[in-house]
Structure 1
Amino acid sequence: MASSGFDITSLTEDQQLALQQYTSVTDQELGDAVPILQKCQWNAQIAITRFFDGDAETIDPAAEAARAAPPSPPTQAVRRTETLMDSINPRSPGSRSRRQGGLEEAPRVVPTPESQLSQPLPFPFSLLLLPFNLTYVIFQRLFGTIGFLFPFLPRLLSRFWSGSGSRPSRDTGRRPLSPSDTAARFMREFEEEYGVTHGTVPFHEAGYAQAFDIAKRDLKYLLVILLSPEHDDNASFVRDTLLAPELLTFLKEPKNNIVLWAGTVQDAEAYQVSTALNVTKFPYACLIAHTPSVSSTAMSKIATSAGSSTVQELIQKLQAGIQTQSAELDRIRRQRQEQQASRSLRQEQESAYERSLAADREKARKRKEEEAAKEKADREEREREERETNAAELLARWKSWRRQNIAPEPGNEVKEAVRISLRLQNGERVVRKFRPDADVEELYAFVECREDEAEDEETSVSSEKEAQKPEGYEHEYGFRLVSPMPREVYDVSKGGTIRERIGRSGNLIVEKIVDEDEDEDDGDEEE
């Protein structure tokens, strides 16, 4: 349906519901369904009826009259001006049950609710007719009692009045039900009267319209059987023909593709079906099938049997009707299979294209994420290198400045000089004298700058002359000075002079300060 290119969003909510109901029954494309619904004023029931009756191109006369007529008052109840029975009346002019190509079309019948078939009289008229209604009810009860006491009288009067071949009258005393409930009631009464179990006869357990739609959609044969309890041949037809093993086997054979629907004309739906099929003699059997030779949507009667008939005669008629239409139906089945195959192939191609497109999108997304992650890592690496370069540059400038400001080693004239023996981290031992009033930080600065003393003297002198303390730079020493025995740490942050903290002499070890994270990493490597 998506291929039609029709925009559903342009329709109102009621129109979308009518379109959904129509397409779910007829399985038409949107481009074909919308014009039919527009002609039928978006009445889904009338549009479905006209589609299955092969009259989809006919404009609904009720809709044309509704457009031409002035608007009704808002307080007046809206009622349908045309019932479905009126649109399928075989005796009306322009009837759709006309004969074409020797076949008589079979209309689709939808039972009209009793509330729409009759309109209550106004209260003044009903008050005037009240005595006549009471008299009618009294005589009806009286004749009903007589008929119950003498059962042969109604049958005798019926034969005398109407004859065996005329159309029977509908039993208005039976409670009207929905099509599915009516079918269930008919099967229950049928099984009780003739003593058969449920499922012995493969009746379709729904209304005539649904069975009609299934037969048309699935290209099956619809066998309609109408019974009338008022006729003497009804019971013998059921026992000798309908319940015969040969016919039951024929109906249940899957290759025959038969949908069996039956009803009694005492019910409103079966009575309307008999009127639409123009039945004049009971019991009645009719085989209906799709006939493309008549029209692309027509359902026609291809075999009929009126009155009592033997099981062999009925089977022969059904077989003859099936043979006449089997070639055309097989051709249409092949066409539908080819269309379904092409539709499935198109859907598979579209699905494969969507999957390929989704895979390409996923690859593009992953590629962008990888490029973004790589760019972020490169940026972080450059920033880290820049920070390390800046830190190394600041450290070098600070060392040059601090080495320039370290006091020279005092001579022998300084009697209070402190003699310190240092063992550096590389194992080298250095002995140096410091002034007694020198701060402990002086000792730390000497150790920090000791590794640069081996450089060229001229270069060092020129560098020291130009060295200045970096602005905003706070140097942190990455080591500490420790006295081995007894162990004592001389932390630079506590300040004080070398003489006060260490004494006149001391042996110190330079220990590197290790962070907790580095210590854990070293422990993991050792394990």
Structure 2
Amino acid sequence: MNIFGFHRNTGDEGQRLGSLPGAFPTAETLRSSEPNDPEAQPIAEETVPQDTTPAVVLHMFLQIPLYILYYLASIILIVLSILKPILNFNRIYDKRHKQHCDHSTEMTALLEEISSDSYAPNVSEQTSQQYMFGSIYNSDMGAVPSQYIQNSYLELLDNCSTQYKFGLIYLHDPIVTNRMSYVNNILCSERFVNCIKTYQMLLWFGDVTTSEGLQVANALKVRKFPCIGILAKKTSETAEIIYSFNGPVEEYNQKKVEAILVKKYPSLLQMIEERQNIDRDRHTREQQDERFRDSLRRDQERERQRDEARQREQQAREREALKKQWLLWRKSKLHPEPNKSQGDDVSRIAIRLDNNERKIRNFSPSLPVEEIYAYVELVQTGILDSDEQYQYGTSPPAGYQHQYKFKLIIPVPRQELDLDTLIGDELGIYPSGNIIVEALDEES
């Protein structure tokens, strides 16, 4: 054998090569070809070539390119087999993230994608009935109610904590070759679906090529997909993963899952009862607090009303005091009654008060009708006949503006007297006339 791995052509092989066209004859060939020639002489072996060097070299140069092409093709196939998953991942990742979808849209797209890839396995080869994925999870009329499916992982955590229910997490990887094995053989099995409905489990499906799915996978420390996990409330503040599976689908054991749920379910019921007791106690306290607040509000309202009443009484007393001071001041400013016998120009007016008392008095025609109003006010309040005097000079009390609570009416023809009109300008009372006092309404 030479350095290239080929045997030299010696012996019988040399004889076979010697029979090829263009080969040199050997001594044996010459002797066999002229057996009866007495003059034939044997030829020395050293003068006959023992190998066919051109054929070997030609054979070698023909095989070297073949070996090179073989190894080059093998390397290309290996590189393509490595790059194909990476290219698929980049294609799917770009497709997911260029859409800028929210959680609900991503969930809908994932369910539709799984539904399109789902198939019903041969029932005879399964231990229980199998269903199509879309007929279970991706339809309002499916076996699993649509309200069980949560749009986001945070929604799943929140509802599991507030409703004290199990949460099912399924992380789907659209790149791996066995991505539908979990869907068709586990999620679509009759026992699994019955388990979901029995415990009213909340479901969340995630795609690890999306941002939320990848975050959940990292949070749960999942490195192999597909993956199934079951979430349950641990305490009033935290939740935990009580079961996870991401191995070969043949190793999945539904009985183990049911045993874990049966073991954990009483603790959920206990937490529900504790929560109900807490809510009941809180409701009782709220009712007691509400009754206390109602009683306090009533007491405060009564106190406020009493304060307002006292304040109104105080303001009324202050107003009455100011009114009395004003009346005393107005009494000091009231003009004396003119005397007709002394040649004064007078207007003789008969006034019927609101208590049917009749007063007759002379007024100067040059005074405004307000003088009659002031006289009637002083008479009705008794200030005119009292001995009290105004003690604060000639100015009226500050901060007080008097309003008459009555009006003076000329009966025939009926006419209300204006305060600013001069007495002499009113023909109904000058040089004489009758006036009726009518009280104003309280709203006026």
Give the TM-score of the pair, scaled to structure 1: 0.38
Tell me the TM-score normalised to structure 2 length.
0.44
